Amino acid sequence: MRDAYDVVVIGGGPAGSTAASLVAQAGHSTLLVEREKFPRFHVGESLMPECYWSLERLGLLERMKASKFTRKKSVQFVTASGKESEPFYFTEHDPRESSTTWQVERADFDQMLFDRASELGADCYDQTRVLDVLLDDDGAARGVKLRTVDGQTREISAKVVMDGSGQSSLIANKLGLREDIPDLRKAAIWGYYKNAMRDEGDNAGATIVMHTNQKDSWFWFIPLSNEVTSIGCVGDSDYLLKTGLDSESRYRLELDRCPGLQSRLEKAERVGKINVAKEYSYWTKQHSGQGWVLIGDAFGFLDPIYSSGVYFALVMGERAADAVIEGFEQDDLSAKQLGKWCEDFKRGSRWIHKLVDAFYTKDFSFGGFMRDNPQFRGNLTDLLIGRIFNDGVGNMFEKMDPAMANKASSQAIA
Ligand SMILES: Cc1cc2nc3c(=O)[nH]c(=O)nc-3n(C[C@H](O)[C@H](O)[C@H](O)COP(=O)(O)OP(=O)(O)OC[C@H]3O[C@@H](n4cnc5c(N)ncnc54)[C@H](O)[C@@H]3O)c2cc1C
């Protein structure tokens, strides 16, 4: 590890590895540091089809196609009474190859991205924790202080620090930039099952979203490789975690309350332990500064309902890398230059936020909305694919908004 780099990237998740890959590929000396020993477990297994374009740019499509990862061709919703919606098939709406995506074991997926950054020229170190981001008195980043795998503390200087540290969001925490999204104080409890029943045919790899009987919580059903399925419950943090029950009992109780899951779990057996994540949705009020920029979850995170997290991380990694590369060309590493992509990103992600709000509006249902407004099926499928940066939404939200007039959270970040 040298003492100085053009760019230091914190975090070897999808955001950090993407950013490091692209700035290194453009010829800038790049250090990518990750605190965990890779490969490491991570939640967030279901991809959105629009991940395709970042994976293509990173030169990883062939590896994805040759991988063990389950092919995901659809998303399906199941009501509180157990009624299954028509699956939203991505290829039905857009028959291109890019409409099929994957359900990934994140340990393997993230390792692949981390390795790619190394292949493209970044110096990549796992088991290396950033202890502090070093800022000048005027707030400009000048490097990081880190602890290496053998326990040494070092200061590494850099012209740019890209923060992809995920929910640790190092810079945002240091500068007090994190803002909770009050309506989305959720928690998740999840586990893994062998031999949970899957559909046959094109819906076999679907992400299935299932409400529990009172709509107090919902489950994700994500089919992974080797007949293992990720099954997780999401609900208000207070509802799920402050009941006096331990997380195992709470999870079981919610499973019993989920009609859509019962037949799928008849022959299934849990493997491994239960995991818990709490209060994970937040936003940041400033996304870049002189010589630094936030990417991925370090920038902000929205509820997992539409599986947008990894897609957002890849897109932010890519866009921020382009801004950094252009900044070096123009000798401009200002907040404005490094964050020039942020407003457009926020405009796009707002559509997903509105869909999140719709999902959590108790008297709103996508099934009912589609029945009354079948003309919007294409627009909705576009959003489930992740196509948020064009005008494909049409006037769907003009119809949907009144039903969620009491939901202010998506306006809060707009
Ligand atoms: C319950 C739940 C379910 C989810 N389900 C989905 C899903 O189905 N699909 C989806 O797309 N997304 C999902 N997500 C979101 C997804 O997990 C994240 O959005 C995604 O991992 C963000 O990528 P990232 O690179 O920004 O951060 P991460 O993947 O979290 O990577 C950040 C990395 O930084 C490292 N790091 C942190 N601090 C330091 C430090 N000080 N020094 C060095 N390294 C550091 C961490 O170890 C980590 O490896 C879910 C999230 C939750 C909470």
CATH number of 158's domain: 3.50.50.60
Structural domain tally of the chain?
3
* pLDDT for position 396: 86
The answer to whether the predicted template modeling score (pTM) of the entire model surpasses 0.75 is: yes
Instruction: Say if ligand 1 is within 6 A of residue 39 CB.
Output: no
Instruction: Say if ligand 1 is within 6 A of residue 36 CB.
Output: yes
- Whether residue 345 lies inside any domain: the answer is no
Gap from CA of 313 to ligand 1 centroid (Å): 9
Instruction: Say if ligand 1 is within 6 A of residue 15 CB.
Output: yes
Could you tell me how many residues make up the chain? Answer: 414
DSSP strand E in 57-152: where? 70-72, 74-78, 88-89, 101-103, 123-125, 129-135, 141-147
Report which secondary-structure segment, H or E, holds 325.
helix 309-329
Domain boundary among 235, 252, 278: 278
> Distance between CA 288 and CA 319 in Å, rounded?
13
Instruction: Say if ligand 1 is within 6 A of residue 11 CB.
Output: yes
Do 16 and 151 fall into the same domain? yes
- Contact criterion met (CB below 8 Å) for 211 and 78: yes
Question: Which residue, chain included where needed, has tokens 């659809």?
Answer: 74
The mean pLDDT of the chain is 93
Reported as a single tens digit per residue, the pLDDT across 104-121 is 999 999 999 999 999 999
pLDDT tops 80 at residue 411: no
The ligand 1 atom nearest the CA atom of 188: 1
- Whether residue 349 lies inside any domain: the answer is no
Instruction: Look at residue 72 and give its three-state secondary structure.
Output: strand
- Burial class of residue 334 (count of CB atoms within 10 Å of its CB; 0-12, 13-18, 19+): middle
Gap from CA of 19 to ligand 1 centroid (Å): 15
Do 114 and 98 fall into the same domain? no
Burial code (b: 16+ CB inside 10 Å, e: under 16) for 106-137 equals beebbbbbbbbbbebbbbbbbebbbeebbbee
pLDDT tops 80 at residue 337: yes
**Which one of 72, 234, 294, 310 would you pick to mutate in the ligand 1 pocket, going by the greatest count of ligand atoms within 8 A of its CB?**
310
Report which secondary-structure segment, H or E, holds 10.
strand 4-10
Q: Measured in whole angstroms, how far is the alpha carbon of residue 74 from the centre of its chain?
A: 18
What mean pLDDT comes out for the span 77-98? 92
Reported as a single tens digit per residue, the pLDDT across 44-78 is 999 999 999 999 999 999 999 999 999 999 999 99
Among protein residues, the one whose CA lies closest to atom 13 of ligand 1: 44
Do 82 and 208 fall into the same domain? yes
**Which residue type, as a one-letter code, is found at position 255?**
L
> Which tokens in the block code for residue 294?
């936030």
Do 318 and 370 fall into the same domain? no
> Distance between CA 67 and CA 326 in Å, rounded?
34
Burial code (b: 16+ CB inside 10 Å, e: under 16) for 213-251 equals bebebbbbbbbbeeebbbbbbbbbeeebbeeeeebeebb
- Whether residue 348 lies inside any domain: the answer is no
Domain boundary among 228, 258, 278: 278
Gap from CA of 406 to ligand 1 centroid (Å): 30
Gap from CA of 273 to ligand 1 centroid (Å): 19
Instruction: Say if ligand 1 is within 6 A of residue 264 CB.
Output: no
Give me the domain span that covers residue 387.
354-413
- Burial class of residue 68 (count of CB atoms within 10 Å of its CB; 0-12, 13-18, 19+): exposed
Instruction: Say if ligand 1 is within 6 A of residue 35 CB.
Output: yes
Instruction: Say if ligand 1 is within 6 A of residue 14 CB.
Output: yes
> Which tokens in the block code for residue 288?
């870049």
Among protein residues, the one whose CA lies closest to atom 50 of ligand 1: 44
Residues 187, 193, 197, 199, CA torsion sign? positive
Reported as a single tens digit per residue, the pLDDT across 107-162 is 999 999 999 999 999 999 999 999 999 999 999 999 999 999 999 999 999 999 99
> Which tokens in the block code for residue 178?
């994190």
Instruction: Say if ligand 1 is within 6 A of residue 46 CB.
Output: yes
Crossing angle (nearest 10°) for helices 14-25 and 106-119: 20
> Distance between CA 288 and CA 171 in Å, rounded?
10
> Which tokens in the block code for residue 31?
């250090």
Name the residue with higher pLDDT: 181 or 256. 256
* pLDDT for position 414: 42
Among protein residues, the one whose CA lies closest to atom 41 of ligand 1: 130
Of the candidates 33, 3, 205, 209, the residue with the CA atom closest to the CA atom of residue 118: 33
Do 243 and 198 fall into the same domain? yes
What mean pLDDT comes out for the span 313-318? 98
> Distance between CA 206 and CA 137 in Å, rounded?
51
Do 361 and 409 fall into the same domain? yes
Do 209 and 315 fall into the same domain? no
